[in-house]
Structure 1
Amino acid sequence: MFINLFDSHLHSDNSFDGTHSITFMCEKAVEKNISGICFTDHCELLDFELDHYEMRITQSCFEANKAKVVFKGRLAVMAGVEMSDVLHDEALTDYMINKFDFDMVMASQHYDSDGTDYYDIDFSKITLEEAYRMLTDYYTYLIRVAKWNKFDTMGHLTYPLRYMVGDNKLPVDMKRYDDMFDEILKTVAENGKAIEINTSGLFGSLGDTLPSIKYVKRFRELGGEYVTIGSDAHRAEHLGRGIETGMQMLLDAGFNYFTFYKARQPIQFRII
Protein backbone atom coordinates (compact mmCIF):
# COMPACT_ATOMS: atom_id res chain seq x y z
CA MET A 1 0.00 0.00 0.00
CA PHE A 2 1.45 3.33 -1.09
CA ILE A 3 0.51 6.85 -0.06
CA ASN A 4 0.66 10.07 -2.08
CA LEU A 5 -1.14 8.68 -5.11
CA PHE A 6 -0.98 11.02 -8.11
CA ASP A 7 -2.70 10.33 -11.44
CA SER A 8 -1.16 12.35 -14.29
CA HIS A 9 -3.34 11.22 -17.21
CA LEU A 10 -7.10 11.79 -17.09
CA HIS A 11 -9.81 12.63 -19.63
CA SER A 12 -12.95 14.56 -18.79
CA ASP A 13 -16.04 15.06 -20.94
CA ASN A 14 -14.06 17.77 -22.74
CA SER A 15 -12.36 14.91 -24.60
CA PHE A 16 -14.37 13.41 -27.45
CA ASP A 17 -14.14 10.02 -25.73
CA GLY A 18 -14.47 11.23 -22.14
CA THR A 19 -17.52 10.67 -19.95
CA HIS A 20 -17.59 12.72 -16.75
CA SER A 21 -17.11 16.35 -15.82
CA ILE A 22 -13.94 17.64 -14.21
CA THR A 23 -15.82 18.49 -11.02
CA PHE A 24 -17.28 14.99 -10.74
CA MET A 25 -13.90 13.39 -11.37
CA CYS A 26 -12.32 15.58 -8.68
CA GLU A 27 -14.99 14.48 -6.22
CA LYS A 28 -14.26 10.84 -7.02
CA ALA A 29 -10.52 11.42 -6.63
CA VAL A 30 -11.10 12.78 -3.12
CA GLU A 31 -13.26 9.73 -2.32
CA LYS A 32 -10.44 7.46 -3.49
CA ASN A 33 -7.85 9.27 -1.32
CA ILE A 34 -5.86 10.37 -4.33
CA SER A 35 -3.56 13.30 -3.59
CA GLY A 36 -3.26 14.88 -7.03
CA ILE A 37 -4.57 14.62 -10.57
CA CYS A 38 -3.78 16.17 -13.93
CA PHE A 39 -6.43 16.53 -16.63
CA THR A 40 -4.93 15.79 -20.05
CA ASP A 41 -7.84 16.18 -22.44
CA HIS A 42 -7.16 15.34 -26.06
CA CYS A 43 -5.82 17.81 -28.60
CA GLU A 44 -5.42 15.91 -31.86
CA LEU A 45 -3.59 18.28 -34.18
CA LEU A 46 -4.42 16.24 -37.26
CA ASP A 47 -8.17 16.87 -36.76
CA PHE A 48 -7.82 20.20 -34.99
CA GLU A 49 -10.51 22.20 -36.79
CA LEU A 50 -12.85 19.28 -37.47
CA ASP A 51 -13.20 18.34 -33.81
CA HIS A 52 -13.02 21.87 -32.33
CA TYR A 53 -9.99 21.22 -30.14
CA GLU A 54 -9.27 24.84 -29.30
CA MET A 55 -12.75 25.15 -27.80
CA ARG A 56 -12.39 21.83 -25.97
CA ILE A 57 -9.04 22.74 -24.43
CA THR A 58 -10.26 26.21 -23.50
CA GLN A 59 -13.12 24.64 -21.56
CA SER A 60 -10.91 21.96 -20.03
CA CYS A 61 -8.41 24.49 -18.71
CA PHE A 62 -11.16 26.78 -17.42
CA GLU A 63 -12.80 23.95 -15.48
CA ALA A 64 -9.49 22.55 -14.17
CA ASN A 65 -8.34 25.95 -12.96
CA LYS A 66 -11.69 26.48 -11.25
CA ALA A 67 -11.34 23.07 -9.60
CA LYS A 68 -7.90 24.07 -8.29
CA VAL A 69 -9.63 26.65 -6.12
CA VAL A 70 -12.67 24.59 -5.17
CA PHE A 71 -10.63 21.55 -4.08
CA LYS A 72 -7.67 23.40 -2.56
CA GLY A 73 -6.45 21.61 0.54
CA ARG A 74 -8.18 18.36 -0.45
CA LEU A 75 -6.78 17.61 -3.91
CA ALA A 76 -4.03 19.01 -6.10
CA VAL A 77 -5.60 19.66 -9.51
CA MET A 78 -3.52 20.40 -12.60
CA ALA A 79 -4.50 21.53 -16.08
CA GLY A 80 -2.67 19.57 -18.75
CA VAL A 81 -3.15 18.43 -22.32
CA GLU A 82 -2.46 15.30 -24.35
CA MET A 83 -1.26 16.36 -27.81
CA SER A 84 -1.04 13.95 -30.73
CA ASP A 85 0.55 14.59 -34.15
CA VAL A 86 2.53 17.48 -32.69
CA LEU A 87 4.67 17.74 -35.85
CA HIS A 88 1.72 17.85 -38.26
CA ASP A 89 1.63 21.66 -38.06
CA GLU A 90 4.33 22.87 -35.70
CA ALA A 91 3.10 26.47 -35.79
CA LEU A 92 -0.34 25.31 -34.67
CA THR A 93 1.18 23.14 -31.94
CA ASP A 94 3.25 26.09 -30.71
CA TYR A 95 0.14 28.28 -30.75
CA MET A 96 -1.77 25.87 -28.51
CA ILE A 97 1.14 25.35 -26.11
CA ASN A 98 1.69 29.09 -25.76
CA LYS A 99 -1.98 30.08 -25.51
CA PHE A 100 -2.69 28.13 -22.32
CA ASP A 101 -0.93 28.03 -18.97
CA PHE A 102 -0.63 24.26 -18.92
CA ASP A 103 0.81 22.47 -15.93
CA MET A 104 1.89 19.57 -18.14
CA VAL A 105 2.13 18.94 -21.87
CA MET A 106 2.00 15.27 -22.82
CA ALA A 107 3.11 14.25 -26.31
CA SER A 108 1.42 11.06 -27.48
CA GLN A 109 0.89 9.49 -30.86
CA HIS A 110 -2.36 7.80 -31.81
CA TYR A 111 -2.23 7.69 -35.60
CA ASP A 112 -0.45 5.60 -38.18
CA SER A 113 1.38 7.43 -40.95
CA ASP A 114 -1.77 7.35 -43.11
CA GLY A 115 -3.76 9.26 -40.48
CA THR A 116 -5.69 6.31 -39.04
CA ASP A 117 -5.89 5.78 -35.28
CA TYR A 118 -4.49 2.38 -34.35
CA TYR A 119 -7.75 1.92 -32.43
CA ASP A 120 -9.64 1.93 -35.75
CA ILE A 121 -7.40 -0.52 -37.61
CA ASP A 122 -8.62 -4.09 -38.05
CA PHE A 123 -5.40 -5.91 -37.24
CA SER A 124 -7.03 -9.26 -37.97
CA LYS A 125 -6.60 -8.30 -41.62
CA ILE A 126 -3.03 -7.01 -41.25
CA THR A 127 0.01 -9.18 -41.92
CA LEU A 128 2.86 -9.30 -39.43
CA GLU A 129 5.15 -7.55 -41.89
CA GLU A 130 2.64 -4.75 -42.31
CA ALA A 131 2.44 -4.42 -38.54
CA TYR A 132 6.25 -4.12 -38.45
CA ARG A 133 6.06 -1.38 -41.09
CA MET A 134 3.56 0.49 -38.92
CA LEU A 135 5.76 0.16 -35.85
CA THR A 136 8.81 1.37 -37.78
CA ASP A 137 6.84 4.45 -38.86
CA TYR A 138 5.57 4.94 -35.31
CA TYR A 139 8.99 4.89 -33.67
CA THR A 140 10.59 6.92 -36.44
CA TYR A 141 8.01 9.60 -35.69
CA LEU A 142 8.57 9.39 -31.92
CA ILE A 143 12.31 9.89 -32.44
CA ARG A 144 11.44 13.15 -34.20
CA VAL A 145 9.06 14.11 -31.39
CA ALA A 146 11.74 13.41 -28.76
CA LYS A 147 14.14 15.70 -30.62
CA TRP A 148 11.41 18.36 -31.00
CA ASN A 149 11.49 18.54 -27.19
CA LYS A 150 8.63 20.94 -26.44
CA PHE A 151 6.69 18.51 -24.25
CA ASP A 152 7.03 17.50 -20.60
CA THR A 153 6.26 13.77 -20.76
CA MET A 154 5.91 11.23 -23.59
CA GLY A 155 2.73 9.21 -23.23
CA HIS A 156 2.11 5.46 -23.68
CA LEU A 157 5.18 4.67 -25.78
CA THR A 158 3.85 1.26 -26.83
CA TYR A 159 0.33 2.40 -27.76
CA PRO A 160 -0.02 0.30 -30.96
CA LEU A 161 0.62 -2.90 -28.99
CA ARG A 162 -2.70 -2.41 -27.21
CA TYR A 163 -4.41 -3.34 -30.47
CA MET A 164 -1.78 -5.34 -32.37
CA VAL A 165 -0.82 -7.67 -29.54
CA GLY A 166 -3.52 -7.19 -26.91
CA ASP A 167 -6.64 -7.38 -29.06
CA ASN A 168 -5.36 -9.32 -32.06
CA LYS A 169 -2.48 -11.40 -30.65
CA LEU A 170 -0.02 -10.58 -33.43
CA PRO A 171 3.33 -12.18 -32.46
CA VAL A 172 5.27 -8.92 -32.61
CA ASP A 173 8.98 -9.15 -31.73
CA MET A 174 9.72 -5.80 -30.09
CA LYS A 175 13.45 -6.54 -29.96
CA ARG A 176 13.50 -5.28 -33.55
CA TYR A 177 12.96 -1.78 -32.14
CA ASP A 178 15.45 -1.79 -29.28
CA ASP A 179 17.79 0.63 -31.06
CA MET A 180 14.97 3.01 -31.95
CA PHE A 181 13.63 2.83 -28.40
CA ASP A 182 17.10 3.58 -27.05
CA GLU A 183 17.32 6.68 -29.23
CA ILE A 184 13.96 7.92 -27.93
CA LEU A 185 14.72 7.18 -24.29
CA LYS A 186 18.25 8.60 -24.44
CA THR A 187 17.03 11.80 -26.09
CA VAL A 188 14.26 12.26 -23.53
CA ALA A 189 16.68 11.59 -20.67
CA GLU A 190 19.34 13.97 -21.98
CA ASN A 191 16.74 16.71 -22.43
CA GLY A 192 15.52 16.33 -18.86
CA LYS A 193 12.02 15.28 -19.87
CA ALA A 194 9.79 12.45 -18.66
CA ILE A 195 8.24 9.29 -19.98
CA GLU A 196 4.91 7.94 -18.76
CA ILE A 197 3.93 4.64 -17.20
CA ASN A 198 0.41 4.32 -18.57
CA THR A 199 -1.45 1.76 -16.48
CA SER A 200 -4.54 1.39 -18.68
CA GLY A 201 -3.08 -1.64 -20.45
CA LEU A 202 -3.17 -3.62 -17.21
CA PHE A 203 -6.96 -3.72 -17.41
CA GLY A 204 -7.35 -4.69 -21.05
CA SER A 205 -6.34 -7.53 -23.29
CA LEU A 206 -2.66 -6.52 -23.29
CA GLY A 207 -2.32 -7.10 -19.55
CA ASP A 208 0.72 -4.84 -19.25
CA THR A 209 1.61 -1.21 -18.79
CA LEU A 210 2.44 1.06 -21.74
CA PRO A 211 5.41 0.75 -21.92
CA SER A 212 6.41 -2.38 -20.03
CA ILE A 213 8.95 -2.35 -17.19
CA LYS A 214 11.71 -3.35 -19.64
CA TYR A 215 11.68 0.16 -21.11
CA VAL A 216 11.31 1.89 -17.75
CA LYS A 217 14.45 0.09 -16.58
CA ARG A 218 16.23 1.03 -19.79
CA PHE A 219 15.23 4.67 -19.35
CA ARG A 220 16.87 4.58 -15.94
CA GLU A 221 20.02 2.98 -17.38
CA LEU A 222 20.22 5.75 -19.98
CA GLY A 223 20.05 8.47 -17.34
CA GLY A 224 16.32 9.10 -17.20
CA GLU A 225 15.17 10.88 -14.05
CA TYR A 226 11.51 11.76 -14.52
CA VAL A 227 8.59 9.34 -14.88
CA THR A 228 4.92 10.24 -14.64
CA ILE A 229 2.22 7.67 -13.86
CA GLY A 230 -1.25 7.87 -15.37
CA SER A 231 -4.37 5.73 -15.48
CA ASP A 232 -5.55 7.22 -18.80
CA ALA A 233 -9.02 7.10 -17.25
CA HIS A 234 -11.91 8.21 -19.44
CA ARG A 235 -14.46 7.50 -16.70
CA ALA A 236 -14.48 8.52 -13.04
CA GLU A 237 -14.60 4.94 -11.81
CA HIS A 238 -11.30 4.19 -13.58
CA LEU A 239 -9.46 7.12 -12.02
CA GLY A 240 -6.35 5.98 -10.18
CA ARG A 241 -6.43 2.41 -11.51
CA GLY A 242 -3.00 0.83 -11.49
CA ILE A 243 -1.17 3.80 -9.99
CA GLU A 244 0.19 1.70 -7.14
CA THR A 245 1.39 -0.91 -9.64
CA GLY A 246 3.18 1.86 -11.51
CA MET A 247 4.85 3.02 -8.31
CA GLN A 248 6.07 -0.50 -7.58
CA MET A 249 7.39 -0.73 -11.15
CA LEU A 250 9.42 2.41 -10.57
CA LEU A 251 10.96 0.94 -7.44
CA ASP A 252 11.75 -2.26 -9.34
CA ALA A 253 13.37 -0.21 -12.10
CA GLY A 254 15.63 1.61 -9.66
CA PHE A 255 13.69 4.84 -9.16
CA ASN A 256 12.94 6.24 -5.71
CA TYR A 257 10.67 9.04 -6.95
CA PHE A 258 7.80 9.61 -9.34
CA THR A 259 7.12 12.90 -11.13
CA PHE A 260 4.13 15.25 -11.09
CA TYR A 261 4.13 18.49 -13.08
CA LYS A 262 3.02 21.93 -11.95
CA ALA A 263 3.46 25.02 -14.12
CA ARG A 264 5.46 22.76 -16.46
CA GLN A 265 8.06 22.08 -13.78
CA PRO A 266 8.72 18.54 -12.51
CA ILE A 267 7.99 17.87 -8.86
CA GLN A 268 9.54 14.72 -7.43
CA PHE A 269 7.66 12.72 -4.80
CA ARG A 270 9.36 9.92 -2.93
CA ILE A 271 7.64 6.56 -3.38
CA ILE A 272 6.42 5.64 0.09
Structure 2
Amino acid sequence: MFINLFDSHTHSENSFDASHSVTFMCEKAIEAGVSGICVTDHCELKDYEKDRYEMRITQSVFDVNKAKRIFNGRLAVMAGVELSDVLYDRQFTERVLSRFPFDMVMVSQHNSAQGEDIYFSNFSEWTAGEIDEYLSWYFSYLLQVAEWGNFDTVGHLTYPLRYITGTHKIQVGLGRYEDQIDQILRTVAQTGRAIEINTSGLSQPLGDTMPGIRYVKRYRELGGEYITLGSDAHSADAVGRGIDAAMQMLLDAGFSYFTFYKQRQPLQMKII
Protein backbone atom coordinates (compact mmCIF):
# COMPACT_ATOMS: atom_id res chain seq x y z
CA MET A 1 0.00 0.00 0.00
CA PHE A 2 1.57 3.27 -1.15
CA ILE A 3 0.64 6.46 0.67
CA ASN A 4 2.40 9.17 -1.38
CA LEU A 5 0.20 9.13 -4.46
CA PHE A 6 0.79 11.94 -6.95
CA ASP A 7 -1.16 12.10 -10.21
CA SER A 8 0.57 14.20 -12.89
CA HIS A 9 -1.96 13.77 -15.72
CA THR A 10 -5.53 14.94 -15.13
CA HIS A 11 -8.09 16.87 -17.20
CA SER A 12 -10.67 19.34 -15.95
CA GLU A 13 -13.77 20.69 -17.69
CA ASN A 14 -11.40 23.07 -19.49
CA SER A 15 -10.53 20.12 -21.73
CA PHE A 16 -13.11 19.52 -24.45
CA ASP A 17 -13.47 15.84 -23.52
CA ALA A 18 -13.48 16.09 -19.70
CA SER A 19 -16.29 16.49 -17.21
CA HIS A 20 -15.52 18.18 -13.89
CA SER A 21 -14.21 21.37 -12.34
CA VAL A 22 -10.73 21.61 -10.89
CA THR A 23 -12.24 22.13 -7.44
CA PHE A 24 -14.33 18.96 -7.63
CA MET A 25 -11.36 16.99 -8.94
CA CYS A 26 -9.30 18.17 -5.99
CA GLU A 27 -12.03 17.15 -3.55
CA LYS A 28 -12.21 13.67 -5.08
CA ALA A 29 -8.40 13.42 -5.12
CA ILE A 30 -8.32 13.98 -1.36
CA GLU A 31 -11.06 11.39 -0.87
CA ALA A 32 -8.97 8.92 -2.90
CA GLY A 33 -5.91 9.50 -0.71
CA VAL A 34 -4.00 11.38 -3.39
CA SER A 35 -1.38 13.85 -2.11
CA GLY A 36 -0.91 15.92 -5.27
CA ILE A 37 -2.25 16.44 -8.77
CA CYS A 38 -1.16 18.29 -11.86
CA VAL A 39 -3.98 19.54 -14.10
CA THR A 40 -2.86 19.01 -17.68
CA ASP A 41 -5.68 20.27 -19.84
CA HIS A 42 -5.44 19.72 -23.58
CA CYS A 43 -3.83 22.22 -25.92
CA GLU A 44 -3.89 21.04 -29.53
CA LEU A 45 -1.63 23.59 -31.19
CA LYS A 46 -2.73 22.95 -34.76
CA ASP A 47 -6.29 23.93 -33.77
CA TYR A 48 -5.30 26.60 -31.23
CA GLU A 49 -7.39 29.41 -32.69
CA LYS A 50 -10.28 27.34 -34.03
CA ASP A 51 -10.92 25.53 -30.75
CA ARG A 52 -10.19 28.54 -28.50
CA TYR A 53 -7.36 26.99 -26.53
CA GLU A 54 -6.14 30.40 -25.38
CA MET A 55 -9.35 30.79 -23.39
CA ARG A 56 -9.34 27.18 -22.18
CA ILE A 57 -5.77 27.23 -20.88
CA THR A 58 -6.16 30.68 -19.33
CA GLN A 59 -9.17 29.38 -17.42
CA SER A 60 -7.38 26.17 -16.47
CA VAL A 61 -4.43 28.05 -14.96
CA PHE A 62 -6.82 30.43 -13.14
CA ASP A 63 -8.79 27.50 -11.70
CA VAL A 64 -5.60 25.77 -10.54
CA ASN A 65 -4.31 28.91 -8.83
CA LYS A 66 -7.63 29.24 -7.03
CA ALA A 67 -7.47 25.55 -6.00
CA LYS A 68 -3.93 26.02 -4.68
CA ARG A 69 -5.31 28.50 -2.14
CA ILE A 70 -8.39 26.47 -1.27
CA PHE A 71 -6.57 23.19 -0.74
CA ASN A 72 -3.32 24.55 0.68
CA GLY A 73 -1.94 22.09 3.23
CA ARG A 74 -4.26 19.30 2.08
CA LEU A 75 -3.35 18.73 -1.56
CA ALA A 76 -0.51 19.88 -3.82
CA VAL A 77 -2.11 21.32 -6.96
CA MET A 78 0.01 22.17 -10.00
CA ALA A 79 -0.78 23.87 -13.30
CA GLY A 80 0.23 21.81 -16.29
CA VAL A 81 -0.66 21.37 -19.92
CA GLU A 82 -0.79 18.51 -22.42
CA LEU A 83 0.58 19.89 -25.67
CA SER A 84 0.05 18.14 -28.98
CA ASP A 85 1.18 19.05 -32.51
CA VAL A 86 4.09 20.96 -30.97
CA LEU A 87 6.06 20.90 -34.23
CA TYR A 88 3.27 22.32 -36.37
CA ASP A 89 4.69 25.82 -35.80
CA ARG A 90 7.61 25.74 -33.39
CA GLN A 91 7.80 29.49 -32.95
CA PHE A 92 4.11 29.64 -32.10
CA THR A 93 4.54 26.76 -29.65
CA GLU A 94 7.33 28.66 -27.90
CA ARG A 95 5.14 31.76 -27.69
CA VAL A 96 2.31 29.78 -26.10
CA LEU A 97 4.70 28.28 -23.56
CA SER A 98 6.04 31.71 -22.65
CA ARG A 99 2.55 33.05 -21.92
CA PHE A 100 1.57 30.70 -19.10
CA PRO A 101 3.22 29.89 -15.74
CA PHE A 102 3.09 26.12 -16.10
CA ASP A 103 4.48 23.84 -13.43
CA MET A 104 4.79 21.00 -15.93
CA VAL A 105 4.64 20.69 -19.70
CA MET A 106 3.65 17.30 -21.09
CA VAL A 107 3.99 16.54 -24.79
CA SER A 108 1.98 13.95 -26.67
CA GLN A 109 0.69 13.36 -30.18
CA HIS A 110 -2.98 12.56 -30.69
CA ASN A 111 -3.29 13.20 -34.42
CA SER A 112 -2.09 11.28 -37.44
CA ALA A 113 0.09 12.85 -40.12
CA GLN A 114 -3.15 13.77 -41.92
CA GLY A 115 -4.38 15.70 -38.88
CA GLU A 116 -7.06 13.23 -37.77
CA ASP A 117 -7.39 12.46 -34.06
CA ILE A 118 -6.80 8.72 -33.97
CA TYR A 119 -9.61 8.36 -31.44
CA PHE A 120 -11.86 8.56 -34.51
CA SER A 121 -9.76 6.23 -36.69
CA ASN A 122 -11.30 2.88 -37.56
CA PHE A 123 -8.12 0.82 -37.53
CA SER A 124 -10.16 -2.28 -38.37
CA GLU A 125 -10.43 -0.87 -41.90
CA TRP A 126 -6.72 -0.11 -42.17
CA THR A 127 -4.33 -2.49 -43.89
CA ALA A 128 -1.31 -3.81 -42.02
CA GLY A 129 0.82 -1.60 -44.24
CA GLU A 130 -1.18 1.51 -43.34
CA ILE A 131 -0.86 0.78 -39.62
CA ASP A 132 2.87 0.22 -40.04
CA GLU A 133 3.24 3.50 -41.93
CA TYR A 134 1.33 5.36 -39.22
CA LEU A 135 3.36 3.85 -36.35
CA SER A 136 6.65 4.59 -38.13
CA TRP A 137 5.52 8.19 -38.59
CA TYR A 138 4.30 8.45 -34.98
CA PHE A 139 7.57 7.37 -33.39
CA SER A 140 9.58 9.44 -35.87
CA TYR A 141 7.51 12.48 -34.89
CA LEU A 142 8.03 11.84 -31.16
CA LEU A 143 11.77 11.60 -31.74
CA GLN A 144 11.72 15.05 -33.34
CA VAL A 145 9.73 16.31 -30.35
CA ALA A 146 12.29 14.78 -27.98
CA GLU A 147 15.08 16.52 -29.89
CA TRP A 148 13.16 19.84 -29.73
CA GLY A 149 13.22 19.48 -25.97
CA ASN A 150 11.15 22.32 -24.47
CA PHE A 151 8.99 20.07 -22.32
CA ASP A 152 9.16 18.15 -19.06
CA THR A 153 7.62 14.75 -19.74
CA VAL A 154 6.51 12.61 -22.68
CA GLY A 155 2.93 11.47 -22.20
CA HIS A 156 1.76 7.92 -22.96
CA LEU A 157 4.63 6.95 -25.27
CA THR A 158 2.77 3.96 -26.74
CA TYR A 159 -0.51 5.86 -27.12
CA PRO A 160 -1.56 4.32 -30.48
CA LEU A 161 -1.92 0.92 -28.81
CA ARG A 162 -4.85 2.30 -26.79
CA TYR A 163 -6.89 2.22 -29.98
CA ILE A 164 -5.15 -0.22 -32.35
CA THR A 165 -4.89 -3.03 -29.79
CA GLY A 166 -7.25 -1.89 -27.05
CA THR A 167 -10.28 -0.74 -29.04
CA HIS A 168 -9.84 -2.64 -32.31
CA LYS A 169 -8.13 -5.80 -30.96
CA ILE A 170 -5.36 -5.69 -33.54
CA GLN A 171 -2.18 -7.13 -32.08
CA VAL A 172 0.84 -5.07 -33.03
CA GLY A 173 4.41 -6.00 -32.23
CA LEU A 174 6.54 -2.96 -31.57
CA GLY A 175 9.75 -4.81 -32.37
CA ARG A 176 10.07 -3.21 -35.81
CA TYR A 177 10.01 0.23 -34.17
CA GLU A 178 12.54 -0.61 -31.46
CA ASP A 179 15.28 1.58 -32.91
CA GLN A 180 12.99 4.59 -33.03
CA ILE A 181 11.68 4.01 -29.51
CA ASP A 182 15.22 3.50 -28.24
CA GLN A 183 16.29 6.81 -29.78
CA ILE A 184 13.36 8.58 -28.13
CA LEU A 185 14.15 7.11 -24.73
CA ARG A 186 17.87 7.82 -25.12
CA THR A 187 17.26 11.43 -26.13
CA VAL A 188 14.81 12.02 -23.29
CA ALA A 189 17.20 10.44 -20.78
CA GLN A 190 20.27 12.33 -21.99
CA THR A 191 18.50 15.69 -21.94
CA GLY A 192 17.17 15.24 -18.41
CA ARG A 193 13.53 14.96 -19.39
CA ALA A 194 10.93 12.52 -18.06
CA ILE A 195 8.66 9.88 -19.49
CA GLU A 196 5.23 9.18 -18.11
CA ILE A 197 3.73 5.92 -16.96
CA ASN A 198 0.14 6.44 -18.03
CA THR A 199 -2.17 4.13 -16.11
CA SER A 200 -5.40 4.72 -18.03
CA GLY A 201 -4.91 1.58 -20.10
CA LEU A 202 -5.13 -0.60 -17.00
CA SER A 203 -8.86 0.07 -16.71
CA GLN A 204 -9.46 0.14 -20.47
CA PRO A 205 -9.44 -2.70 -23.02
CA LEU A 206 -5.67 -2.34 -23.55
CA GLY A 207 -5.06 -3.77 -20.07
CA ASP A 208 -1.57 -2.28 -19.72
CA THR A 209 0.19 0.95 -18.94
CA MET A 210 1.52 3.22 -21.68
CA PRO A 211 4.35 2.42 -22.00
CA GLY A 212 4.65 -1.02 -20.44
CA ILE A 213 7.39 -2.02 -18.04
CA ARG A 214 9.73 -3.13 -20.82
CA TYR A 215 10.27 0.44 -21.96
CA VAL A 216 10.39 1.79 -18.42
CA LYS A 217 13.28 -0.58 -17.74
CA ARG A 218 14.95 0.39 -21.00
CA TYR A 219 14.67 4.09 -20.14
CA ARG A 220 16.48 3.38 -16.87
CA GLU A 221 19.19 1.39 -18.68
CA LEU A 222 19.76 4.42 -20.90
CA GLY A 223 20.30 6.65 -17.88
CA GLY A 224 16.77 7.99 -17.44
CA GLU A 225 16.02 9.34 -13.97
CA TYR A 226 12.66 11.07 -14.15
CA ILE A 227 9.30 9.30 -14.30
CA THR A 228 5.92 10.99 -13.93
CA LEU A 229 2.81 8.99 -13.06
CA GLY A 230 -0.55 9.85 -14.57
CA SER A 231 -4.08 8.47 -14.51
CA ASP A 232 -5.13 10.55 -17.55
CA ALA A 233 -8.34 11.16 -15.61
CA HIS A 234 -11.08 12.89 -17.59
CA SER A 235 -13.52 12.74 -14.67
CA ALA A 236 -13.06 13.27 -10.96
CA ASP A 237 -13.71 9.65 -9.99
CA ALA A 238 -10.68 8.55 -12.05
CA VAL A 239 -8.12 10.80 -10.34
CA GLY A 240 -5.36 8.64 -8.89
CA ARG A 241 -6.61 5.47 -10.58
CA GLY A 242 -3.79 3.00 -11.15
CA ILE A 243 -1.08 5.19 -9.60
CA ASP A 244 -0.30 2.57 -6.95
CA ALA A 245 0.22 -0.02 -9.70
CA ALA A 246 2.56 2.38 -11.50
CA MET A 247 4.58 2.85 -8.32
CA GLN A 248 4.96 -0.90 -7.98
CA MET A 249 6.05 -1.03 -11.61
CA LEU A 250 8.70 1.58 -10.90
CA LEU A 251 10.06 -0.48 -8.01
CA ASP A 252 10.11 -3.56 -10.25
CA ALA A 253 12.03 -1.56 -12.87
CA GLY A 254 14.68 -0.56 -10.32
CA PHE A 255 13.59 3.00 -9.54
CA SER A 256 13.48 4.40 -6.00
CA TYR A 257 11.81 7.70 -6.89
CA PHE A 258 9.06 9.13 -9.06
CA THR A 259 8.87 12.72 -10.29
CA PHE A 260 6.43 15.56 -9.62
CA TYR A 261 7.05 18.94 -11.25
CA LYS A 262 6.78 22.39 -9.70
CA GLN A 263 7.69 25.54 -11.63
CA ARG A 264 9.17 23.32 -14.39
CA GLN A 265 11.59 21.74 -11.90
CA PRO A 266 11.57 18.00 -11.13
CA LEU A 267 10.93 17.04 -7.53
CA GLN A 268 12.07 13.51 -6.78
CA MET A 269 9.67 11.75 -4.43
CA LYS A 270 10.45 8.48 -2.68
CA ILE A 271 8.25 5.59 -3.73
CA ILE A 272 8.39 4.04 -0.25
Shorter chain as denominator, the TM-score bin is over 0.9
Between the aligned partners of 1:33 and 1:218, the Cα distance in structure 2 is 30
- State the one-letter code of the partner of 2:32: K
Where does structure 1 lack aligned partners over 5 or more consecutive residues? Answer: none
Root mean square deviation of aligned Cα: 0.6
What per-residue deviation string (whole Å, max 9, x for no partner) do you get for residues 84-111 of structure 1? Answer: 0000011211111110110000001101
Structure 1 counterpart of 2:238, one-letter code = H
1:172 Cα offset (Å): 1.1
The DSSP-based 3-state class of the residue aligned with 2:98 is helix
Q: Percent identity?
A: 64
Aligned to 1:95: 95
Report the alpha carbon displacement of residue 159 of structure 1 after superposing the two structures with TM: 0.7
**Counterpart for residue 33 of structure 1:** 33
**Alpha-carbon distance in 2 for matches of 1:217, 1:177:** 17
Task: Tell whether 2:54 aligns with 1:54.
Answer: yes
Report what 1:85 is aligned to.
85
TM-aligned CA deviation for residue 124 of structure 1: 1.0
Q: Flag as ranges the 4+ runs of structure 1 deviating above 2 A.
A: none
1:133-212 map, 5 Å: 133-212=133-212
Asked whether the 8 Å contact 1:185–1:222 carries over to 2, the reply is: yes
Counterpart for residue 44 of structure 2: 44
User: Are the equivalent residues in 2 in contact too, given 1:128–1:170 (CA < 8 A)?
Assistant: no
1:124-160 superposed Cα distances (whole Å, 9 cap, x missing partner): 1011111010000000100100000000000000111
- Superposed CA offset, 1:213-241 (max 9, x none): 11000000000000000000000011100
**Which segments of 5 or more consecutive residues in structure 2 lack a partner in the other structure?**
none
Which residue matches 1:260? 260
Shift of 1:30: 1.1
* 1:28 Cα deviation after fit: 0.8
**Alignment map for 1:107-122 (pairs within 5 Å):** 107-122=107-122
How many residues matched?
Answer: 272
SS at match of 1:35: strand
Using the TM superposition, give the Cα deviation of residue 212 of structure 1 relative to its aligned residue in structure 2, in angstroms: 0.6
2: CA distance, partners of 1:31 / 1:208: 25
How far apart are residue 244 of structure 1 and its match?
0.3
Superposed displacement of residue 4, structure 1? 0.7
- In structure 1, give the amino acid aligned to 2:247: M
C-alpha displacement at 1:169, in angstroms? 1.7
**1:128/1:172 contact within 8 Å kept:** no
- TM-score (norm: length of structure 2): 0.99
CA distance in 1, matches of 2:259, 2:111: 27
**Corresponding letter in the other structure for 2:169:** K
Q: Separation in 2 of the partners of 1:210 and 1:125?
A: 24
Q: What amino acid is aligned across from residue 37 of structure 1 in structure 2? A: I
> Does the aligned pair in 2 maintain the 1:128–1:171 contact within 8 Å?
no
